Amino acid sequence: MNNKFSVKKPGNNKWNQERRLEFIDYRLCWAGHINRADLVSFFGISIPQSSLDLSRYCEMAKDNLKYDRHSKIYRRSPKYKPIYPICSSESYLNDILMKAQGTLNPTRDYLEKAPNISCFMPPRRKINFDVLSMIVDCILNQKSLEISYQTMNSEDPEKRRIHPHALGFDGIRWHIRAFDDKHSEFRDFVLSRIYSVGKPEESDVDPNEDMKWNFVVSLKIGPNPKLTPSQQKAIEIDYGMENGEVVYKCRQALLFYTLRLLRLSPDDDVDNDDPKKNQIILKNKDEIFMLLRM
């Protein structure tokens, strides 16, 4: 989707109109219609201003809408093509998911109506605000700090001095990437298992030395060859594969979590499982498993 229209900076009147034009495009795309009252209600603007916005949108994409004089409403035309990225399939699905979860910001809720959906809400791990705030400060200002950390190898939390430099998300949990003084190496720390933090100190650890964090791995994913040709074709379409392959990239430090999420880890033993349960394979498995062991 090509957006030919530049987005203006916040605080500018043009930016405000840009948002309203985006809203018009979104409503046409996913509701099929728009009128002046929609703009007036959502943005709190005047009726004359809403008319100007609709006229401007007509100038930009005259083939996208038709005016229904009987209903006094603009309807999406058969030739409609989105002009703003917010109308993408991914953006819409994210919107209805966040709406169902109650996390969609009302100022960005362009939905008129949303279909009924059911979504799995994984258990949310509680993260201490003070801990996160201090960790972020240390990352941004290259500082170290002592933490009280609960590992699965000890009965009680233990004190550790770490030099955090990044955050990572594995699809379920947030991690801190940091140099660990105890083991003299860069490691991952589960954020929710940090119970308390001490006073930050200056750090002389260079994040560029974290080779596993800075090295990007290419995962070559293909359909399981044990599937039938038509089933393999369906998987290729699902994952957007070209010539039977799609490449996903992740940091080596997050490789274990990525493979586990995709059910492509050594423990999943893809080669021996039912291909309908393991529909994708790692085409460069030997290379990736070697990096996993490093």
Q: Which CATH number fits domain 13-108: 2.30.280, 2.20.200, 1.10.287, 1.10.10?
A: 1.10.10
- Return the amino acid letter for 279: Q
Burial class (CB in 10 A: 0-12, 13-18, 19+), 97: middle
pTM over 0.85: no
CA distance 95 to 142: 35
Report the candidate in 43, 33, 30, 14 with the shortest Cα–Cα distance to residue 91: 30
What are the distances in angstroms from CA 4 to CA 60, 82, 83, 136, 202? Answer: 10, 11, 8, 36, 46
* Full pLDDT tens readout for the chain, 294 residues: 444 333 333 344 555 999 999 999 999 999 999 999 999 999 999 999 999 999 999 999 999 999 999 999 999 999 999 999 999 999 999 999 999 988 999 999 999 999 999 888 777 778 999 999 999 999 999 999 999 999 988 889 999 999 999 999 998 899 999 999 999 999 999 999 999 999 999 999 999 999 999 999 999 999 999 999 999 999 999 999 999 999 999 999 999 999 999 999 988 865 556 787 789 999 999 999 999 998
Pairwise CA distance, residues 166 & 162, whole Å = 12
Closest CA to 122 of 291, 261, 3: 261
CATH of 129-206 among 2.60.40, 2.30.30, 3.90.226, 1.25.40: 2.30.30
For residues 224 and 269, the answer to whether their CB atoms sit within 8 Å is no
DSSP H or E segment with residue 236: helix 229-238
Domain extent listing, the chain: 13-108, 129-206, 215-293
**13-108 and 129-206 in the same fold:** no
Q: Treating both helix axes as pointing N-terminal to C-terminal, what angle do 47-60 and 36-43 enclose, rounded to 10 degrees? A: 120
Closest CA to 149 of 184, 187, 185, 123: 187
Residue 262 makes CB contacts below 8 A (sequence gap 6+) with: 219, 221, 280
CA dist., res. 198 & res. 159, Å (int): 10
pLDDT on residue 152 = 86
